[in-house]
Structure 1
Amino acid sequence: MAETVQFDLVSPERLLTSAAVDEVQIPGADGDMTAMAGHAPLITTLRPGLVRATSREGETEYVVTGGFAEIDGDSISVLAERAVPRADMTQDEMKSMVDEATERLNAAKQAQDNEPGPVDEAAKLLSDMVAVGERIGLSPN
């Protein structure tokens, strides 16, 4: 039997899960990763995507808009800017997330004339949110 690791997923509103799991797939800012018991210590930022926790009971997915993940040998903690269980995602929730990303992009464009960094980051956020919606079968419109 595979060794388990403690997994906690928290958003500003609530604790979404706290469970012993076999592995957690994380949409890291530098690429997707899978964390398991005994993983080397690591802190990474998240990009919008799906966090997938696998345990004996099966897989559970959560849509996240960004945040941080802290991994050590004994636990995996994901601190999400916004997180919704995949099973609870609705068209309205997806639209709200895409609208928020669009607002960030527009604000960055207005505030950062001739400063491509923040605008590029906001554009990437919007693109990632649209991609998440398409992956889970929800249109951003």
Structure 2
Amino acid sequence: MAETMQFDLVSPERKLASVQATEVRIPGADGDLTAMPNHAPMITTLRPGVLEVVTTDGSSRYIVTGGFAEISAEGTSVLAERSHPVEEVTQEMVDEMVASAHAAHKEAHPDVADTAAKLLADMVAMGTHIGLDPNVPSI
């Protein structure tokens, strides 16, 4: 039997997952990473993207739009600003998230405009990754 770890995914609205996982693929702000049992302890912030949880029974995918992940040898906890199972995500939801990121980019101070542009690009990529076609406003 594969070695497992405790995995929990929580957003402000609800607890989305609490399972024994063999690996968790995380869209980290500094790059994608995979947490596995006995992983070295670390904390990372999340970028908008698709988080995948692999268990002995299969895998589940969730969108996340920010937050952080705490990884340890015993398990991984993700506290997401917003998260939904991929199956629940609609075109309208992605369009709303992209529009919100676009508005933040337009209103961003020049010192953080590059960060806002990256957030917008990540939102668009997240929608595309799950098979939706985000309404992409021009930057």
TM range (shorter): over 0.9
The aligned counterpart of 2:117 is: 123
Contact 2:65 2:123 in 1 (8 A): yes
Report the RMSD for the aligned CA atoms in angstroms: 0.9
2: CA distance, partners of 1:59 / 1:90: 20
Cα deviation, 1:40-90, whole Å, max 9, x if unaligned, reads: 000001111110000012110001111100000111001111111011111
Residue 87, structure 1, aligned to residue 87, structure 2: yes
- In structure 1, the gaps of 5 or more residues are none
- Aligned equivalents of 1:126, 1:48: Cα separation in 2: 9
Deviation at 1:107, TM superposition (A): 1.9
Matches within 5 A, 1:1-141: 1-108=1-108, 112=109, 115-116=110-111, 118-141=112-135
Q: Once the two structures are aligned, what percentage of the paired residues are identical?
A: 56
Secondary structure of 1:128 counterpart? helix
Whether the 8 Å CA contact 2:2–2:56 is kept in 1: the answer is no
Q: Read off the aligned partner of 1:107 and give its amino acid letter.
A: E
How far apart, in 1, do the equivalents of 2:7 and 2:93 lie? 24
Distance in 2, Cα, partners of 1:5 & 1:123: 35
What is the distance in 2 between the residues matched to 1:37 and 1:130?
31
- CA positional deviation for 1:24: 0.1
Q: Which amino acid aligns with 2:114?
A: D
5+ residue gaps in structure 2? none
Name the aligned partner's letter for residue 98 of structure 2.
V
Please give the alpha-carbon distance, in whole angstroms, between the structure 2 residues aligned to 1:12 and 1:104.
21
